[in-house]
C-alpha cells in the first residue's frame, strides 16, 4: 500500500492530528520484505509488512440485525491473518438472528480455515464477569450489557486484549462492498507498520457515499452528521490554539483502529457518540488543557492519522430519525465535555434546540461514560469467563 504522508500536523498537547492523507496505491507490491519505506512524501508498505501487522490485529465487527448476506461480505473482506471478533446485539426471538449469524460465521471459518470469535452483547457469562471485576457502568437492566454500538465495541476490545492482540480495528457489518472493508483494514495495517508511537489511532474518511439522485449515481462526499461534528471539533481546537483549522475530517469515523495501549487508555461513551468522543477524550486526557494524571504518566506522543479511502462507502441507509439521533449523540459528548468552551456550548445548544433535540430551557442529556478498560483486573476477568464456550478461542493465545 502506498499512502501520502500527512503534510500538515496540528499539535495539541501531546496529540498530533495529521491532515487527511490520500492513498496512491492499494497494493504497492511486496516491498522490502517486512520493512516499510517512509520518507517525507509517502509511506510504502509491502504486502509482507501488512500481513505482519495483521497477525497482531483483531477486527471487531459490531452487528445488530443486519442482513446476513451483508455480514458475510464484510467477513470476506477482512484479510486472512486478522482475528475476527463479531459482537452481535441481534435478537434471538422470535427468530434467532444471532443463531443464524453464528452458523454463517462457522461456515465462513470452515471454508477459510480460520477461527473467529462471536459473542452476543447480552451474553450472561460476560456480564457476570464484568460485574465481578467491578466494571458495572456498562451493565443495565437485568445486569446485562446495555444496547449500543459503543457498548459492543467495548466488549470486542476487551476480548481482543485477552487474545493478546496489539491492534484493534473496527468495521461496520452493513457494508455492501467487501473490497472497501479490505481497503480499510489495509490502511489500518499500513499506518501501524509505520507509526512511531505506541499510542496511535487511524480514522477513515470515506471517499464518498454513492446515492441515486435524479436517476443518476451521485458520489456524495460529506454526510450531514459528519460535516456538523467536524465543524464543532475544529472550532474547539481553534478556540485553544487561536488559529482557525479544518484539520478534523473524521469526527464520526465508524471505521477506525487503535493500538491496544491507546484503546486501553481511553474512556468510552455510549452508542454512536463514541467516535467523536475519542477525539474529545484524547483532548481531555492528553490535550494539556486541564491537569491530567494520564498526561503526566504518558511517555510518548499520541498520533492521530486520517486517511481517505478510495472505495466508495455503500451501506444500509439510516432514516432521518437515525441521522438525527447520531448527530444529537455527537453534540451531547462535545457539549458535556469539560474542555468545551462556553461559546461553543451555547452554539451547540442553539443547534440542538433548532433541531428539536432538546428544549430551550433544558440542557441536553448527558451520555453514559465508561472508564478506561485498563482499570480492569484482566486475570480475574479471564478466570470468570473460563467456562465460556468461546473461552479457549479467546484465551488460547494461538489465534
Ligand atoms: N454490537 C452492536 N450493538 N452493534 C450495533 C449496535 C448495537 O447495539 N447498534 C448498531 N450496531 C452495528 C450495526 O449493525 C452496524 O454494523 C454498525 O454498528 C454501525 O451501525 P449503523 O446503524 O449502520 O450506523 P450508521 O451506518 O448510521 O453510522 C455509521 O457511520 C457513522 C459515520 O457516518 C456508524 O459507524 C457510526 O458510528 C458512525 O459515526
Ligand atoms: Mg451503517
Interval between CA 271 and ligand 1 midpoint (Å): 8
Is the CB of 63 inside a 6 Å radius of any atom of ligand 1? yes
HEC states along 64-90? CCCCHHHHHHHHHHCCCCCEEEEEECC
Residue 369 in any domain: the answer is no
Residue 346 has pLDDT above 60, yes or no: yes
Whole-angstrom distance, CA of residue 321 vs CA of residue 327: 10
Report yes or no: 114 and 84 within 8 Å, Cβ to Cβ: yes
**DSSP bridge pairs for 373:** none
Instruction: Render pLDDT for 180-226 as a digit per residue (tens, 0 to 9).
Output: 999 999 999 999 999 999 999 999 998 888 888 888 888 887 778 88
* Alpha carbon distance, N-terminus to C-terminus of the chain: 25
Which of the ligands is closest to the CA of residue 85? Answer: 1
Check: CB of residue 68 under 8 Å from CB of residue 75: no
* pLDDT per position as a tens digit, 123-158: 999 999 999 999 999 999 889 999 999 999 999 999
Beta strand ranges found along 251-355 (DSSP E): 256-259, 268-269, 302-308
CA–CA distance, 169 with 259 (Å, rounded to integer):
9
SS (HEC) of 341-396: CHHHHHHHHHHHHHCCCCCCCCCCCCCCEECCHHHCCHHHHHHHCCCCCCHHHHHC
Alpha carbon distance 253, 204 (integer Å): 6
Residue 359 lies in a domain: no
Is there a contact between 176 and 190 (Cβ–Cβ < 8 Å)? no
Take residue 116 and report the three cell numbers written for it.
473467529
**What is the 3 state secondary structure string of the chain?**
CEEECCCCEEEECCEEEEEEECEEECCCCCCECCECEECCCEEECCHHHHHHHHHCEEEEEEECCCCHHHHHHHHHHCCCCCEEEEEECCCCCCCCHHHHHHHHHHHHHHHHCCCEEEEECCCHHHHHHHHHCCCCCCECHHHCECCCHHHHHHHHHHHHHHCCCCEEEECCCCECCHHHHHHHHHHHHHHHHHCCCCEEEEEEECCCEEEEECCEEEEECCCHHHHHHHHHHHHHHHHHHCCCCCCCCCCCCCCEEEEHHHHHHCCEECHHHHHHHHHHHHHHHHCCCCCCHHHHHCCCCEEEEEEECCCCCCECCCCHHHHHHHHHHHHHHHHCCCCCCHHHHHHHHHHHHHCCCCCCCCCCCCCCEECCHHHCCHHHHHHHCCCCCCHHHHHCCCC
Q: Whose CA is nearest to atom 22 of ligand 1?
A: 318
The pLDDT tens digits of the residues spanning 173-190 come to 999 999 999 999 999 999
* Domain of 75, in residue numbers: 2-208+253-266+278-317+375-394
> Which residue out of 92, 172, 312 has the highest number of ligand 1 atoms within 8 Å of its CB and is therefore the one to mutate?
172
The pick from 268, 272, 318 for probing ligand 1's pocket by mutation, whose C-beta has the most ligand atoms within 8 angstroms, reads 272
Q: Tell me, in angstroms, the distance from the centre of ligand 2 to residue 302's CA.
A: 28
Report the number of distinct structural domains present in the chain. Answer: 1
Return the higher-pLDDT residue of 389 and 54. Answer: 54
Any ligand 1 atom below 6 A from CB of 146: no
Reported confidence tier of residue 397, pLDDT bands at 50, 70, 90 = low
Residue 239 domain flag: no
Q: Looking at residue 27, which CATH number applies to its domain? A: 3.90.550.10
For ligand 1, say whether the CB of 171 is within 6 Å of any of its atoms: no
Residue 396, pLDDT above cutoff 80: no
Q: Which atom of ligand 1 is nearest to the CA of 272?
A: 37
Say if 223 falls within a structural domain: no
Q: Does any ligand 1 atom lie closer than 6 A to the CB of residue 87?
A: yes
Q: How many CB atoms are closer than 10 A to CB 346?
A: 11
Identify the residue whose C-alpha is closest to ligand 1 atom 8.
148
Classify residue 368: in a domain, yes or no. Answer: no
Give residue 66 CA to ligand 2 midpoint distance, Å. 9
- Kindly state the average pLDDT of the residues 250-275: 97
Question: Among the listed ranges 22-36, 86-100, 110-124, which one has the minimum average pLDDT value?
Answer: 22-36
Q: What is the pLDDT of residue 223?
A: 79
Residue of 149, 277, 280 to mutate, ligand 1, most atoms within 8 A of C-beta: 149
Q: Is the CB of 89 under 6 A from ligand 1?
A: yes
Is any atom of ligand 1 closer than 6 Å to the C-beta of 121? yes
Q: Which ligand is nearest to the CA of 319?
A: 1
Asked if residue 276 has its Cβ within 6 Å of ligand 1, the reply is no
Q: Given pLDDT bands bounded at 50, 70 and 90, which one contains residue 398?
A: very low
Residue 139 domain flag: yes
**Nearest ligand to the CA atom of 65:** 1
Model pTM?
0.96
Residue 226 CB–ligand 1 contact under 6 Å: yes
Mean confidence (pLDDT) of the chain: 94
Would you say residue 335 lies in a domain? no
Q: Which ligand is nearest to the CA of 173?
A: 1
Q: Whose CA is nearest to atom 28 of ligand 1?
A: 254
How many angstroms is it from 387 CA to the middle of ligand 1? 30
State whether the beta carbon of 270 lies less than 6 angstroms from ligand 1: no
Residue 56: predicted pLDDT: 97
Q: Is residue 127 part of a domain?
A: yes
For range 253-278, the mean pLDDT: 97
> 184 C-alpha to center of ligand 2: Å?
15
Ligand nearest to the CA of 318: 1
Amino acid at each position: 500500500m502506498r499512502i501520502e504522508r500527512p503534510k500538515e500536523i496540528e499539535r495539541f498537547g501531546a496529540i498530533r492530528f495529521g491532515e487527511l492523507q490520500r492513498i496512491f496505491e492499494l497494493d504497492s507490491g511486496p516491498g522490502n520484505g517486512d520493512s516499510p519505506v517512509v520518507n517525507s512524501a509517502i509511506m510504502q508498505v509491502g504486502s509482507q509488512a501488512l500481513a505482519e501487522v495483521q497477525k497482531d490485529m483483531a477486527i471487531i465487527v459490531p452487528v445488530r440485525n443486519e442482513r446476513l448476506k451483508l455480514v458475510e461480505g464484510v467477513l470476506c473482506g477482512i484479510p486472512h491473518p486478522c482475528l475476527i471478533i463479531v459482537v452481535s446485539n441481534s435478537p434471538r426471538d422470535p427468530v434467532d438472528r444471532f443463531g443464524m449469524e453464528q452458523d454463517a460465521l462457522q461456515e465462513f471459518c470452515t471454508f477459510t480455515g480460520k477461527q473467529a470469535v462471536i459473542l452476543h452483547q447480552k451474553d450472561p457469562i460476560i456480564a457476570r464477569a464484568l460485574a465481578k471485576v467491578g466494571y458495572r457502568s456498562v451493565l443495565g437492566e437485568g445486569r446485562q450489557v446495555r444496547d449500543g454500538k459503543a457498548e459492543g465495541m467495548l466488549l470486542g476490545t476487551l476480548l481482543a486484549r485477552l487474545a493478546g492482540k496489539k491492534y484493534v480495528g473496527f468495521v461496520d457489518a452493513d457494508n455492501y462492498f467487501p473490497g472497501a472493508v479490505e481497503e480499510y483494514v489495509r490502511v489500518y495495517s499500513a499506518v501501524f507498520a509505520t507509526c512511531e508511537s505506541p499510542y496511535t489511532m487511524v480514522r477513515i474518511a470515506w471517499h464518498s457515499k454513492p446515492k441515486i439522485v435524479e436517476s443518476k449515481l451521485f458520489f456524495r462526499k460529506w454526510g450531514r452528521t459528519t460535516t456538523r461534528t467536524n465543524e464543532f471539533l475544529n472550532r474547539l481546537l481553534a478556540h485553544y490554539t487561536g488559529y482557525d483549522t479544518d484539520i478534523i475530517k473524521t469526527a464520526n469515523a465508524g471505521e477506525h483502529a487503535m493500538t491496544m495501549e491507546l484503546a486501553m487508555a481511553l474512556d468510552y461513551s455510549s452508542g454512536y457518540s463514541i467516535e467523536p468522543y475519542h477525539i474529545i477524550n484524547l483532548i481531555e486526557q492528553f490535550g494539556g488543557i486541564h491537569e491530567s494524571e494520564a498526561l503526566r504518566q504518558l511517555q510518548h506522543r499520541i498520533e492521530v492519522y486520517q486517511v481517505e479511502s478510495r472505495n466508495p462507502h455503500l451501506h444500509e441507509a439510516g432514516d432521518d430519525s437515525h441521522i438525527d439521533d447520531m448527530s444529537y449523540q455527537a453534540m451531547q459528548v462535545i457539549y458535556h465535555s469539560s474542555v468545551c468552551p462556553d461559546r461553543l456550548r451555547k452554539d451547540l445548544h442553539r443547534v440542538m434546540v433548532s433541531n428539536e433535540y432538546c428544549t430551550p430551557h433544558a440542557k441536553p442529556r448527558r451520555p453514559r461514560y465508561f472508564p478506561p478498560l485498563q482499570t480492569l483486573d484482566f486475570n480475574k476477568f479471564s478466570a470468570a469467563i473460563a467456562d465460556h464456550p468461546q473461552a479457549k478461542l479467546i484465551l488460547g493465545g494461538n489465534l
